[in-house]
Every structure is written in structure tokens, then in C-alpha cells.
């Protein structure tokens, strides 16, 4: 029997991008059944009209023959936020392999076929993830997201799993209880940690998706940076019982940057000095001492890796 892949797209007022997201899913090819469900949070723009058009096009057989079969459904109603919308979507689907694709991101051609082949070669894997490209508002690739092999311990210090390029077994989703609906920014990172604690993770060194950078989404603006870092620290402390040094530093930098005019770089000396002082205080307060894991990280070769400048929080489209 051919496998079934379930893709859920949470959306809210994303008429500018959602057609591109849907099209990237429906154009996937391979020996699998595909079901795509869009959970819209009662959008007031033109999103619903776009969803109706795609529903008609799928019924008309426009993408027939690309895979073993396509089912496209959508709902538009007030919901309890992004995590709840994603959970609702997976509750409406039955695929053995799952992913969610935000309404401003896209899958790259051949992504699903490559992921399923990797799952077949790694029958114990709970999650397969690949490379992801950053794109701008026009969809042009501007950089590559930092991804790479990781495991449960690695996820404490660096999240090398970029959500649009991550697929998981339904078995793994059910085993860990799905997303934590109380989280606003790091629900994916929290899910990866819980899956990694029980199942192997497999990195596929192949571009699977694009991740759009823009300022309209809930974490696309600087005003969300501190909240993101705070939630990240809370999630990591809940799982690992510690606050890694580099995570505390990221949080401290964002807190200090709030005190200065918008756009001040974290490399500015007026930001760096108080950031290190706040890091020391927060680290000792949260860990009640120095952790052995962090002493092992503090090597000359690791310092740049620990504190390198990079996109410090991921942008998810609020549903």
C-alpha cells in the first residue's frame, strides 16, 4: 500500500502568499497519497476566495497523476491560535507521515518523495528533516538556513531543525502528544525535543523547503524577540533542567537591545558589555551555579559557534 502524507497549513490573512504555499504542496510527485488541509482562522482578506478556487481546481483534476491521489480540504473559523489550528488539522487527517507548512512558506519540488525514501531507509526514525532556504517577500532565495545533524542533547543548545523542512511519523506525533498549545513561538522546537527523546532523528542533506522572511508575521518584528528568547529558555529548562550559556546570552542581548534605539547591532560595544553582565547574572540565577555542560562548550573553537550572529528567532505565520 502506498503511504499517505498529511500536510496541514495554518493561516490567517495570508492572501499574499497562501496560493504559492498550496501550489508547492499540490505539485509534489511520487508514489504516495497526499492530503492537504488548510486551517484558516477566519481571515478577513481574500484568503477564503483563494481556498475555494483551489478546492475547485483539485476537484477538476488539475494535479491528477502527480501522485497516487490528492485530497484538499479547508475550514475557516475562529480558533485558539496556531498550535491549536495545527492540532485540529492533524485531527482531520490520517496520513502516516505528517508536516505542517505555514502559509508563507513553500515545499521544494521532490521534497516529499525524498523524505519518504529516507523514512523507508530508516524505519526507526521518528522525524526526518532537511535543508531550508530563506526567501524574501517575492520568493527569491536569499540565504540558506543553518541546519544539520542533531539529537536530543544537541537541541538544548542549537536548534538545527527548520520547521518547513521537517516531517514526522504520525506514530511519533501521537506518542508525544502533539504540540503544546500554550506555546506561542517555540512549539516546533518543543516538539522536536520530545520526539528526539523517544525516536531517532535523521537529517536529509537536501533542500526541502523555503522559509519566507518578512515583517508581517507574529515573530517577524523586533518586538517579539525577547518573548521568543524567554519562551525558548523556559522550554529548554523544562526539558533539560538547565539554561545553556549560549541561550542565556541570546536572551540577554535582546533584553539589552530593548534599551537602545531600534537597529542597534548586538556587536555594538554599548550592547555587548551590559549583555555579558546580564548573561552572568541570569546564568547563575537560572542554573544556581556553573553547569558542567557549559564548561565543556567553552573552548576557543566553540566560542564563535556559541555566540555567532544569526537569525535568532524563527518566524511562524499566526493562525
Q: Enumerate residue ranges in the chain where pLDDT < 70.
A: 215-223, 297-319
pLDDT tens-place string over residues 193-222: 999 999 999 999 999 999 998 766 554 555
Residue 165 CB contacts under 8 Å (≥ 6 apart), including other chains:
111, 129, 130, 131, 132, 145, 147, 207, 208, 209
Q: Are 100 and 86 in contact (CB under 8 A)?
A: yes
Q: Are 146 and 130 in contact (CB under 8 A)?
A: no
Q: Are 17 and 103 in contact (CB under 8 A)?
A: yes
Determine the pLDDT at residue 264.
80
Find how far residue 202's CA is from the centre of its chain: 16
Share of the chain above pLDDT 90, in %: 77
Determine the pLDDT at residue 223.
61
Is beta strand 201-212 parallel, antiparallel or unpaired with respect to 127-135?
Answer: parallel
Work out the number of other CB atoms within 10 angstroms of the CB of residue 62. Answer: 12
**Of 99, 110, 114, 116, whose CA–CA distance to 3 is shortest?**
116
Q: Residue ranges per domain, the chain? A: 4-212, 222-307
Determine the pLDDT at residue 98.
98
Residue 272 CB contacts under 8 Å (≥ 6 apart), including other chains:
266
Runs of H (alpha helix) within the chain: 18-26, 47-59, 82-91, 111-121, 154-157, 170-176, 187-196, 225-240, 245-257, 269-287, 292-297, 300-307
Please, what is the average pLDDT of the chain? 90
Q: Output the CA torsion sign for 163, 169, 172, 177.
A: positive
Determine the pLDDT at residue 300.
44
Determine the pLDDT at residue 310.
40
pLDDT tens-place string over residues 248-297: 999 999 999 988 887 788 778 888 899 999 999 999 999 998 988 887 76
- Per DSSP, the three-state class of 147 is coil
CATH of domain 4-212: 3.90.550.10
Determine the pLDDT at residue 106.
97
* H or E segment and range at residue 169: strand 166-169
Amino acid at each position: 500500500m502506498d503511504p499517505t502524507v498529511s500536510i496541514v497549513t495554518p493561516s490567517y490573512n495570508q492572501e499574499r502568499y497562501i496560493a504559492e504555499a498550496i501550489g508547492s504542496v499540490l505539485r509534489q510527485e511520487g508514489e504516495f497519497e497526499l492530503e492537504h488541509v488548510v486551517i484558516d482562522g477566519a481571515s478577513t482578506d481574500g484568503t477564503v476566495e483563494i481556498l475555494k478556487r483551489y478546492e475547485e481546481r483539485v476537484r477538476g483534476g488539475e494535479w491528477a497523476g502527480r501522485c497516487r491521489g490528492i485530497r484538499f480540504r479547508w475550514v475557516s473559523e475562529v480558533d485558539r491560535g496556531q498550535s491549536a489550528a495545527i492540532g485540529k488539522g492533524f485531527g482531520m487527517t490520517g496520513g502516516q507521515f505528517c508536516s505542517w507548512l505555514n502559509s508563507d512558506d513553500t515545499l521544494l519540488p521532490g521534497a516529499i518523495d525524498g523524505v519518504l525514501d529516507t523514512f523507508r531507509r530508516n524505519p526507526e526514525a521518528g522525524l526526518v528533516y532537511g535543508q531550508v532556504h530563506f526567501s524574501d517577500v517575492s520568493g527569491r532565495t536569499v540565504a540558506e538556513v543553518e541546519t544539520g545533524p542533531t539529537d536530543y542533547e544537541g537541541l538544548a543548545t542549537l536548534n538545527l531543525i527548520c520547521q518547513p523542512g521537517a516531517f514526522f511519523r504520525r506514530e511519533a506525533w501521537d506518542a508525544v502528544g502533539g504540540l503544546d498549545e500554550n506555546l506561542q513561538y517555540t512549539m516546533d522546537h518543543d516538539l522536536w525535543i520530545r520526539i528526539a527523546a523517544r525516536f531517532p532523528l535523521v537529517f536529509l542533506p537536501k533542500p526541502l523547503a523555503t522559509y519566507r522572511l518578512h515583517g508581517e508575521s507574529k515573530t517577524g518584528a523586533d518586538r517579539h524577540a525577547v518573548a521568543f528568547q524567554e519562551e525558548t529558555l523556559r522550554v529548554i529548562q523544562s526539558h533539560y533542567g538547565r539554561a545553556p550559556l549560549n541561550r542565556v546570552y541570546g536572551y540577554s542581548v535582546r533584553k539589552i537591545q530593548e534599551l537602545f534605539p531600534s537597529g542597534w547591532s548586538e556587536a555594538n560595544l554599548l550592547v555587548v558589555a551590559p549583555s555579558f553582565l546580564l548573561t552572568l547574572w541570569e546564568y547563575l540565577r537560572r542554573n544556581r551555579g556553573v553547569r558542567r555542560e557549559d564548561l565543556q562548550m567553552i573552548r576557543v573553537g566553540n566560542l564563535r559557534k556559541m555566540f555567532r550572529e544569526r537569525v535568532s528567532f524563527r518566524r511562524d505565520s499566526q493562525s
